[in-house]
Amino acid sequence: MSAAGAGEGGDPLARRDGGGDVDIAREGALRAREGESDEGGVDSPARRVLTARGGESPRKRVPAAERREALIEAAVHEFALSGLHGTPVDRIARRVGVAQPYVFSLFAGKRDLFLAAVDHCFDRFAETFSQAAAQYRAGHAPEDCEDVLMAMGAAYKDLLATDRAYLMLQHQAYAACDDEVVRARVRRRYAELVAFVGGLSGAEAERLDDFFGHGMALNVAAAMGVAELSASCSWVQAELADPAGAGGALQ
């Protein structure tokens, strides 16, 4: 899919979403300055008069920091479905219950929101590994975990099985690495995660290579809804034995 319409400075993701002609970043900042509530309304004198007369109930304001976190969480789920270029910001805004311009009063552009979601994703992985290491050292890890690295691997498998959005957003982050800004962030976060796991586990580089290599295989398997990727596994053999499933068979 193509990127959103060209923004200022020739960057299609810096300001606008969906090819619109309105500078929604500027509009969002203007509406925020004018007192737009986090629920999408405007806290105007007329609204306050209506509220005082009992004609309209007051709306609870949500702090911008809380709304930002809610938007990032919504972005994780929406970008997981359709990626950086295929996800309208308006869909993320509607998920949280705010107007699209309000999103751009908190984030510089769609790519900035995507990067925040990617950061949240890697933070979730680090938190999962940290909790697993603590559980192992407290003696509460699964019985078949012989060391802390195995406990972290088991916890990661559980995360992939229970929260698919984080799995698919990880795939979308790698898919968006044609964008050099995204590529730089993903490389950095991946390297930091490797160092974090190394510090938690004390594992040597070769063992870390095996851990992350197996993790990448788990990502692919989980995306396809299978348990393993070996050539001899049952689902591979079943696919090859089914002539009805042959769409573009490799010769």
Q: What is the pLDDT of residues 169-216, one digit of tens each?
A: 999 999 999 999 999 999 999 999 999 999 999 999 999 999 999 999
- Rounded to whole angstroms, the Cα distance separating 231 from 209 reads 22
Residue 33 has pLDDT above 90, yes or no: no
- Rounded to whole angstroms, the Cα distance separating 79 from 208 reads 29
Q: Is the dihedral of CA 92, 98, 101, 106 positive or negative?
A: negative
DSSP state for residue 36 in the 8-state scheme:
B
pTM above 0.85, yes or no: no
Position 247 in a domain: no
Q: Say what the alpha-carbon torsion angle 125, 127, 133, 135 is, to the nearest 10 degrees.
A: -120
Position 26 in a domain: yes
Do 127 and 220 share a structural domain?
yes
pLDDT tier at 9, thresholds 50, 70, 90: very low
Residue matched to tokens 């789920």? 77
Domain count, the chain: 2
**Residue 107 · residue 67 · CB < 8 Å:** no
Position 21 in a domain: yes
Position 243 in a domain: no
| 218-222: long-range contacts, CB 8 A cutoff, minimum separation 24 | 218/156, 218/157, 218/160, 219/160, 219/167, 219/170, 219/171, 222/160, 222/161, 222/164, 222/167
Position 245 in a domain: no
Domain of 163, in residue numbers = 115-227
Within 10 angstroms of residue 29's Cβ, the number of other Cβ atoms is 16
Do 84 and 184 share a structural domain?
no
Helix (H) or strand (E) holding 116: helix 110-137
Do 29 and 131 share a structural domain?
no
- Residue ending a domain, among 39, 73, 106, is 106
pLDDT tier at 242, thresholds 50, 70, 90: confident
3-state secondary structure of 13: coil
- Rounded to whole angstroms, the Cα distance separating 89 from 7 reads 15
Q: Which pLDDT value is given to residue 3?
A: 38
Do 213 and 158 share a structural domain?
yes
Do 167 and 98 share a structural domain?
no
Q: Flag the least confident range among 52-61, 100-109, 118-127.
A: 52-61
Residue 156 has pLDDT above 90, yes or no: yes
